[in-house]
Amino acid sequence: MDCRTIMPARKVPHILKLSVKEQKEFFNSFDVVMCDCDGVMWMIASPLPRTGEAVNALKAAGKQVLFVTNNSMRSDDDYVHKFVGIGVKDFQKVSHTLFRLLVCDIVSYYNANFKHVPWVKK
């Protein structure tokens, strides 16, 4: 299929409109949850309600929960503090749970024809 072909949108039902059986089937269909941080776990400095509780419930159900961010202003210690502050259990003890997205930066460098970006070759 040509990547320029526009696929028609498929209407996906809201999870709360599914039966309990369908909700369980959906929940059991994945092992990993990737979650953005800013705007999903918190808004600027304020945590969104029950986000820590939701992460803990996913982990207790055997799901691996990973966090992604494109915010390069916060240090890893800042993220540990934020996640512990919203009640995420054992965040500081788990390695490789926070991923910083560099794809946008790499594409921007590439498109701007930067000559000295070591990880991009034209």
Catalytic residues: 31
Q: C-alpha angle 58/37/15, rounded to 5°?
A: 45
Q: How far is CA 98 from CA 11, 83, 113, 121, in A?
A: 31, 11, 30, 27
Q: Which two tokens stand for residue 97?
A: 């749970």
Query: Residue 1's CB: how many other CB atoms inside 10 A?
Result: 5
